[in-house]
Structure 1
């Protein structure tokens, strides 16, 4: 039976089991925002291959709120909890939603891309206070996608060389990770097949 297990990390004991059976959702990945206390769950395709929308679970009451509209794909939440970025590689779609301090979820904008995004990293904005940008690495191409979450502005950081092929990186389905340098850091790192690239997030270019 597909479930979520809630565990107390201090006592290492089970608190509760949340059944997802009624929604036929076998979890693939999830993300959490403290705004509203929601978990966004990416479900595996069902037996027919159909892709289900994300499920929303209330982390306070441990109850299922329902589907996140028609949003599908892997969820990522910004460090401040205000942005939910969902990557659906099958549809070639990045969907951005905002989450208010009251936990209200609203659609912001969609970005269609053929980059086949492998991984994303959030970075504090250097031009706007209390805002975030997101960088998306490509599993097949030599570009990195930059998105200013407050405005939807998009830019490409180019010439990063070819990534490893997925079958050359069997340990993870993210064959091109991207990592930031901390809460106030301006640099990001992402590998290619034979190199490690440093990106300057302040200038949005290769360092």
Structure 2
């Protein structure tokens, strides 16, 4: 009870806010009463040295000054780094000041960021152009320090820079606080290229050729130390089952049964949720403390799932619920992972169309508020919806927020 009371009374301050990056700048939102705490406009000047710079400068062809964002990361609840793909740069927002404070130039068309807390580095994947013809990986070091930042290139794998399609670095959690390795995925290649995050250098290649698997996405659990890898459709359009790779030996253990689709791991490493939109399936597996992978249950859904978020259960200790947003419909799917109970949160308006969102496959994100808060946010085409995960319902809608599909939660620093 004390815990619940403490949660209700916790001070809001500058933390416990959603930052939403949308066409007309950045909105900072307090989820409980759905108050807009601050609106950073596209024309706002940067605080500090780069004083002549604006948040989203107007180009000659623009009739109205507006913003295009692709990806953002929270750096220790102190800064938010966000990519501006058409400006070839990353903007740094200071959480304490609620202002944009710095611009970091990147390679052309930066589309994906990841913050590696273990080494205080922000990884940047750029496409080179909208056709993804010369992708690169860059790293911004000392990301949480108040210094002037710049990017450095990672060492190319086998001198081939231009093949990078994606990268995967496991997220730090309460349980895993140090991440040593990541993987780079190359276009069309049935392999994972393992990198040492300490030295940013390539260590070895894990071949997936025998399984005819060109990796699409990955998830990691510290229980058993497994990577789960979803594969791209083969030449016939069929999707091979997921592969399991042992993180210690770097060898493929085999297929994850007949499970296909994009893998997502709960923060405690106990639940693997796999989404296969082709089959309209969400498949849930549990992983025991000893690393045994067990079948749990399947959910048939025609939602065409765009994104998923995990949230600690408010009724059971050490349990998680999952929320899934739809790339085409107005419902959010809620699943209680311990029981398989399913509920829909309805009437969340249409998402923007997939073709209006070029930067990744998630045209409607859903973002949770960390381990200690009950709110989630998902955007529609021109609104934001805040859900209450404790009551499993809609808390509020904030209208007139166009294309707010880059969302970051900032907790208490």
Asked if Structure 1 and Structure 2 have the same fold, meaning a TM-score greater than 0.5 normalized by the shorter chain, the answer is: yes
Runs of 4+ in 1 over 2 A off after TM superposition: none
Say which of 87, 101, 113 aligns to 2:275: 87
Equivalence map 1:16-31=2 (5 Å): 16-31=204-219
Aligned residues: 207
Partner of 1:73: 261
Residues 163-202 of structure 1 correspond to what in structure 2 (within 5 A)?
163-202=351-390
Q: Which residue of 2 aligns with 1:38?
A: 226
**Gapped runs of 5+ residues in structure 2?**
1-188, 396-413
Q: Does residue 151 of the first structure (1) align with residue 357 of the second (2)?
A: no
**Displacement of 1:164 after TM fit?**
0.4
User: Which SS does the other structure have where 1:160 is aligned?
Assistant: coil
So what's the TM-score if we normalise by structure 1?
Answer: 0.98
Q: CA RMSD in A?
A: 0.7
Larger Cα Rg: Structure 1 or Structure 2?
Answer: 2
Q: How many Å apart are 1:15 and its aligned residue?
A: 2.1
1:50 aligns with 2:262: no
What is the rounded CA distance, in whole Å, between the counterparts of 1:48 and 1:153 in structure 2?
35
Q: How does 1:109-124 map to 2 (within 5 A)?
A: 109-124=297-312
Higher strand share: 1
Gaps of 5+ in 1: none
1:97 and 2:273 correspond = no
- Report the CA distance between 1:183 and its aligned residue: 1.4
Q: What's the counterpart of residue 394 of structure 2?
A: 206
Instruction: Report the 3-state secondary structure (helix = DSSP H, G, I; strand = E; otherwise coil) of the residue aligned with 1:203.
Output: coil
Deviation of the 1:7 alpha carbon: 1.1
Distance between the aligned counterparts of 2:211 and 2:220, measured in 1? 19
Q: 1:2 aligns to what?
A: 190
Query: Are 1:107 and 2:309 matched, yes or no?
Result: no
The answer to whether structure 1 residue 125 and structure 2 residue 313 are counterparts is: yes
- Partner SS, residue 71 of structure 1: coil
